[in-house]
Amino acid sequence: MTRRVVRILSFAVVLFGALTSMVSTANPLALRRSVFRIETISQDLNFVNPWRLQAPNMSSGTGFYIGQGRILTNAHVVANASSITVRRDGDAGQMIAYVQYIGHDVDLAILGVEDPSYLKGVEALVLGSVPRLRSPVTTVGYPMGGDQVSMTDGVVNRISYQTYVHTEVDDHLLVQVDSAINPGNSGGPVFQGRNVVGVAFQALTRAQNAGFIIPVPVVQRFLTDCSDGKYDGVPDWGVETQATVLNNAASALFYQVPKNDHRGVLISRVQEWSPAKGIVQRGDVLMAISGKSIGVDGKVDFEGERVNFEALYDLRLIGDRVRFEVLRDGAIRELTVIAGVGKAHQYSGLIYPKRPRFTVFGGIVFTALTRSVMELWGDSWEKRAPLLMRYLLSNPFDFELTGQRDQIEELVIISDILVNTNNSFLEISSPVVDKINGEKVTSVKMLHDALHSLKEETLRLDFLFSQEPWLLNAKDLRAADEENNRRYGVSQQFWLEPYSIDGAITREVKR
Amino acid sequence: MKPDKLYGMLVRFKILALLTVLTVELPAIGSTDNKDSSRYESSVLHLTVTRAAPDPESPWALQNTDISGNAGVVISENRVLTQASLVSRAVYIQAQRVDDVEKIPMEIVFADYEANLAILAPVKGHRLGNVKIMNIGQDVPLGADVFLIAIENERQLQRISLRTLEIGLRESSIGGISLPIYNLGGQVRSTCKSDPIVRNGLLVGLCVGVLESQPQVIAASVIKHFLGDNLTPALYRGFPSMGVSFVPVRSPWHRKLLGIAEGKGALRVSRIFDTSPFADCMKDDDVLTAFDSVAIDHRGFYRHPMWGPVPMRHYIAEKYSGSPLTIHFKRNHIAKECKRNLIRFSGQDSLVPGATNEGGVPHVIFGGLVFRELSVDYLMVFGRDWRQASPQDLLFFYTYLNLPSLKRERKLVMSNVLGDEFNAGYQKLSNLVLSSVNGLPVTSIEGLKTQLNLPGILRAGVEYAQFDFLDGTQIVLPYKGTSDAHKRIGSTYAVTNTSSFFSRL
């Protein structure tokens, strides 16, 4: 899947359920005891002073029982949670819950409960299939406005491939419905008859009754991925394509597309890290994936609808062999790509680690450039944040312009200066650290190690696209740390754990 | 003048370090009178300027003409001084006394758009009659009372009392010239249109804009510098630049490493442009200590006899291009000096040139693909907040890679596609930075035409032009059929100038 930064600004992350007295084809009311209200106390991360957390925040969402002691909900319902409780409709008490698996890229999580007997006798809901256009659905959940379960009816309007706003960069299959999806519905089941056909998860804020649900194939893929005890994430293939080119008859001739073959998109870029590198190449025409023809618009037939062909790649597991049909030099070639984990995701999308990676040295706070950091500039950061940071986030592998190298694990920025006599004169002309004492900075950890193994008296930091290096006395800076930490309440000097797609070191409550 | 256009003129310059802010009390708010202003009626003329600028979105066409009124000052017989940006792309200019009905057709004799000053003269066969020359005065100290002479309703002069509050520098987009500009205290209308600033009957400045309610005024010394030059394109020397970027060194440890003694002023060389006359004798990390024999303080200022501490760039701006300058500097703690003649840079020397004031917009259309040079003119298509709203790729070049080059190399952009059956499949593409054509890089519109004139890529007996873009996008279109496509496109999109279309030589 192409992980180019896509933001749908008019979306708000919301989930809810809705209520209605009318039920579509069967009566989900009977299944309401399998639908849980989830209450969460969470603390968002502080990306400027990463040793701190934001103030605790209470929120609620919905989840539903899928058997084997597991409750399915959205990742954003339990992200950064310090405490999770679940309660069934009609129950007086609550049960403490914990995160078993979480997939931020698909906005799904599996919860367990502290006392498994709490779930005894609860009917496991059954996953159905992708609903047909205009078919009726019922959304069930605990939207704001009351404590009881709520249901709303609607119909399926669209099946498409769009951005999941939880990370703001992951595109997957989704289904648009016109039943009300409001805050609190998130994570709730959407029924067709007795079967669950999706998980409510986001809505358009500027449109009435434009809700989105995660369809069963994405849910099923998540559950399968977790079945070996570890969530590996959705594969990313790092290949960009150009659709509609072959609508041009002369261009089709140039790329040697056989007459009357109205298929194919042009491969315009293959990232260095791509698992397809060396297999497909720029200029190839991608004709089919997994045996399904790709139209000149880049879409394939899927459950009776036309969706972006990358949706099919998304549904594969890491390590799967994915077959492609490629036209090169006038000949069709059958190629196989081993689905792999994407590289761009971890800092181009919003992240949910236990802590941002950071290190503090002499009052200078270094952290990784992530989309989460950018939100310091507010919702309109895409206009207000420094251009260099915006550009690097959007084009993390644009080595030609930025002079970066593929071995860079992450870009390191200065998020704050805790002012003391040894650094009060510093001014940030460019926030992105390029080199330390002449050596390319490749990650926060590399910088941290370099800072703490400095033999030289002078610390020199060079910044990307700046001719104003900092030359500082390393000994003075080091000596100031203790006093600085006391004065500014720096409770932790560094955090260097790697980020992980499966949330294995995320902060959500885990058993 | 359209507000966007005026804004564009103003933003060509960024105000640098406003300094030496005196704690001067504002004059009793801009007292205005008409009585004494009448004495200027024979010196301050109303100019009616009809302009027709190329349409930045459709470079083959002109925008609707707009007519603006602004001031001009009679500075010698048949010579009128005004603000260059207000007469750029003028197709017709008239001058008249505010108390007279006769309008004299005028033409531009010479304009320096970097200094934002222009000289006008009557068109052949016409004369300015019944006018009085206003002499140029000296720069005024901070805190001095001055008057702004504004033209009200084209028929009346108004004298507004103001006070010089502070002196700053404005810098052209490429670290080139830095000219002194006053901020005045007082109350004026929302904008200035080349309104003269007078003191004791002498011209001491031209008001060229209003920033945060403060009139921005070109100083008398800049006007004198301009008028003292040879005002012909071939011989004009203009305001010079060193072609060197330098920054104060704030870190005590860094100062120690560079050998800057405590309390001593110095500037660290942060970049020397290839085009600099000092490129052969200086390098990054050299430490400037003095220019000629004028010492620099720790901020990089020198002491101006009238204004006190002023950034060192101003010292350079007082010279002419071609003038010698000796830079005293240290390298590895060893004192050195380098003497070179200063040169003149233009905003047009940079990779992304500043707003243009003359000539058309270089562009070419191939099969409906519209190619043009990336420029500030083009970025301004994205609105008043183009610095935020323009596509990131384009802004990146403007912000981070915009270095001067005497080769005047450009980045080319395919701004849009004029949809036609010929370019089906590509019509949604826009604002793509061109990397190469038929496998070779191009650095100007003329270069693109040259490249397209060479043999294209042969495939299945058909010759194609292949365009590759920075983001990986590729467009291939055959040469055959372009002529017919251009006819259709010209007709559909009213591209009447056939020279806009590529045609093979």
Tokens 């559909």 correspond to: B492
Model pLDDT, residue B21: 31
pLDDT one-digit tens code per residue, A84-137: 999 998 888 899 999 999 999 999 999 999 999 999 999 999 999 999 999 999
| pLDDT of A29 above 60 | yes
Model pLDDT, residue B496: 86
Model pLDDT, residue B7: 30
HSE (CB half, 13 Å, CA atoms) of A313? 29
CA separation (Å) from A291 to A304, A335, B32, B264? Answer: 16, 11, 82, 75
Model pLDDT, residue A317: 97
Query: What are the DSSP calls for A199-247, one per residue?
Result: EEEEEESSSTT-EEEEEHHHHHHHHHHHTTSS----B---EEEE-SGGG
Model pLDDT, residue B399: 92
Per-residue pLDDT band at A20 (split at 50, 70, 90) = very low
Per-residue pLDDT band at A508 (split at 50, 70, 90) = low
Per-residue pLDDT band at B178 (split at 50, 70, 90) = low
CA separation (Å) from A371 to A75, A350, A395, A402, A504? Answer: 18, 5, 12, 18, 20
Model pLDDT, residue A506: 53
Query: What are the DSSP calls for B187-249, one per residue?
Result: ---S--SSEEEEETTEEEEEEEEEETTEEEEEEHHHHHHHHTS--STTT-----B--EEEEE-
| pLDDT of B408 above 90 | no
Q: Does B464 touch chain A (CB under 8 A)?
A: yes
Contacts of A431 (CB under 8 A, 6+ apart): A386, A388, A389, A413, A414, A415, A463
Q: Catalytic residue positions of A?
A: 76, 107, 186
- Which has more confidence, B200 or B209? B200
Q: What share of chain B is helix, strand, coil (3-state, %, to 5)?
A: 20, 40, 45
Q: Does B496 touch chain A (CB under 8 A)?
A: no
* Among A137, A147, A349, A313, CA closest to A239: A313
| Prediction pTM value | 0.87
Residue in A239, A245, A475 to test binding to B, most B beta-carbons within 10 Å: A245
What's the count of helices (H) and strands (E) in chain A, helices before strands?
11, 30
8 Å CB contact of B459 and A467? no
CA B456-B458-B461 angle, to 5 degrees, is: 135
What is the H or E stretch that residue B104 is in?
Answer: strand B104-112
Model pLDDT, residue B3: 34
Model pLDDT, residue A509: 64
CA separation (Å) from B256 to A219, B252, B332? Answer: 62, 6, 11
Residue type (1 letter), B246: F
User: Contacts by B122-130 with C-beta closer than 8 Å and gap 24+?
Assistant: B122/B78, B122/B95, B127/B78, B128/B45, B128/B74, B128/B77, B128/B78, B128/B80, B128/B95, B128/B104, B129/B102, B130/B42, B130/B97, B130/B100
What's the count of helices (H) and strands (E) in chain B, helices before strands?
10, 29
What is the H or E stretch that residue B489 is in?
Answer: helix B482-493
What ipTM describes this predicted complex? 0.88
From the number of C-beta atoms within 10 Å of its C-beta (0-12, 13-18, 19+), residue A365 rates as: buried
pLDDT one-digit tens code per residue, A453-480: 999 999 999 999 998 999 999 999 999 8
Min Cα distance A403 → chain B (Å) is: 12
* Among B434, B445, B499, CA closest to B470: B434
Domains of chain B: 1-236 (2.40.10.120), 244-344 (2.30.42.10), 348-500 (3.20.190.20)
Asked if B433 and B415 count as a contact pair (C-beta separation under 8 A), the reply is: no
pLDDT one-digit tens code per residue, A184-200: 999 999 999 999 999 99
| pLDDT of B497 above 50 | yes
| pLDDT of A50 above 70 | yes
Other CB atoms within 10 Å distance of the CB of residue B7? 15
Residues in a beta bridge with A412: A368, A433
pLDDT one-digit tens code per residue, A244-292: 999 999 999 999 999 889 899 999 999 888 999 999 999 999 999 999 9
pLDDT one-digit tens code per residue, A295-331: 999 999 998 899 999 999 999 999 999 999 999 999 9
| pLDDT of A496 above 80 | yes
pLDDT one-digit tens code per residue, A414-459: 999 999 988 998 988 788 999 999 999 999 999 999 999 999 999 9
A138's tokens: 């019922």
Least confident of A19-33, A78-92, B188-202: A19-33
- End-to-end distance of chain A based on CA atoms, in angstroms? 33
Nearest CB to A425 within list B251, B459, B481: B251
Nearest CB to B472 within list A244, A268, A471: A268
Least confident of A36-50, A377-391, B90-104, B181-195: B181-195
Tokens 């720790």 correspond to: B298
Nearest CB to B425 within list A248, A391, A470: A248
Per-residue pLDDT band at B243 (split at 50, 70, 90) = confident
Residues in a beta bridge with A305: A302
| pLDDT of A16 above 60 | no
Query: What's the CA gap between B278 and B286, in Å, rounded?
Result: 12
